[in-house]
Amino acid sequence: MLFTIISANTFESHKEIRLAIRLLNLLAPATILFIAVVLLIDPVSQLSAANKTSLGQLPYALALVVALLAYGFNRNQILFATLNLISAYLMIQLGLQVSLDQPNAYVLFSILSILLPINITFIATYSERGLFTPLGLTRLAGVLIGYLLLGLLWSNGALATQLPNLPTNMFEMFFAERFLSNMSAVFYGVALLTTLIYFVTQRGHGSAGVLISLVASLFMFIWFDLPNVSTLLVTAALIAMGIAVLQSSHKMAYLDELTEIPARRALQDKLATLGKRYTLAMVDIDHFKKFNDTYGHDIGDQVLRMVAAKLASVSGGGKAYRYGGEEFTLVFPGKDEAQALPFIEQLRELIANYPLYIRGDQRPEDEKRGAQMRKQKETSDHTNVTISIGVCEKTDEYLDASEVMKQADKSLYEAKNNGRNQSVAAHYKPETPKRRRTRKDYV
């Protein structure tokens, strides 16, 4: 039977809030840059002709940098989105610096405003499969071939002859006094819906980059009559996509992919910045191998994510890191063992009292129905995960953080040997609270 773990309290509202914050963080740089574009349109229009020419070359340099970054970090979605956007920009600079009253220019504009969102729709669905593979090269050709053919027809003046053959919805504007036809609006609507679906479900920097390029190109066509709008919007989009590549590479290096908390590399950087007073806690999931063997590795991964989420909620100024396997590390800067232990114990009890219900593949699809069924479960249908914790503070006897961590590890093994599901500090030994005397003690 395929098992999965669900908690008694799902905290759906908290998940939705975290999801919204994460999505907003992905788009924050682009939002700031697009606001800057709106503010810069008038000042840029007052630049000299030479400065405007130099500014017009900036997107090409940015596109080269972003493309190299995307290729180097295997972010092919952003690579394809960059090539798609810069190819459209090149066509605009070559063929659309004249009045759209000219047939050749109008047909070029109309086809370009359809080709760009079509490409984005396909790019949004791409997964990372490598560039120099049959599939990767096919995708690359699919992005570029349309622009190559369009450029060839434009250079020969053949587009003007197709003006009488254009459908009427390429002449009718979707917005009054704006340069976006009804047909283009339909393709942009499909592209926007597709891109948003993948952005919300994947929540990755690649899908964010595709969405950024889509929004930039959409407003580029809507505001096409504004001076230098294509240069400013493409520049902003490329900068935002470059930031997305760098954020993605940082995430790969510093965040654990499974648990989405800081990884061991981030821990090493943190340890190097600690002062003379801090406490480290080494955390290990009790009987994790047995749990893995009983329920399977997929369920084991869910346990790791659950424990990581609880540890990440640590208060008292602490921060959680995944050390490796089923081990985690808590760092409390500026605190000794006595100050950190209450927060550590709070986490240990929180995890130990967190019921994990096992359910099979006959579970209902409806979440409310599933919640009702879980309330009717017997206590034997759920299990609990516990953790053991070793704690050590920085004292003069330890030269650096590595020695503090070794001592915390020794305390962790002591906690394991003492029966697990407990915290053991290397120095601080809290007294067992004495029971208050009652009347019976004097009888």
Catalogue all structural domains in the chain, each as residue range(s) with its CATH number: 12-254 (no CATH), 264-425 (3.30.70.270)
Buried b (16+ CB within 10 A) or exposed e, 202-225: eebbbbbbbbbbbbbbbbbbbbbe
Predicted pLDDT at 318 = 94
Predicted pLDDT at 86 = 96
Residue 6 pLDDT > 50: no
Predicted pLDDT at 268 = 93
Within 13 Å of residue 332, how many CA atoms lie on the same side as its CB? 23
Annotation says 326 is catalytic: yes
Q: Which one has a higher pLDDT value, 288 or 179?
A: 288
Helix-, strand-, coil-residue percentages of the chain, each rounded to 5: 65, 10, 25
pTM flag (> 0.85): no
Predicted pLDDT at 67 = 95
- Give burial (CB, 10 Å; 0-12/13-18/19+) of 2: exposed
Please list the residues that pair with 7 across neighbouring strands.
Answer: 356
Catalytic residue among 326, 345, 403, 414: 326
Long-range contacts (CB closer than 8 Å, 24 or more residues apart) made by 23-28: 23/199, 23/200, 23/203, 26/199, 26/203, 26/205, 26/208, 26/244, 26/247, 27/208, 27/211, 27/212
- Give burial (CB, 10 Å; 0-12/13-18/19+) of 60: middle
Each residue's pLDDT tens digit, 330-346: 999 999 999 999 999 99
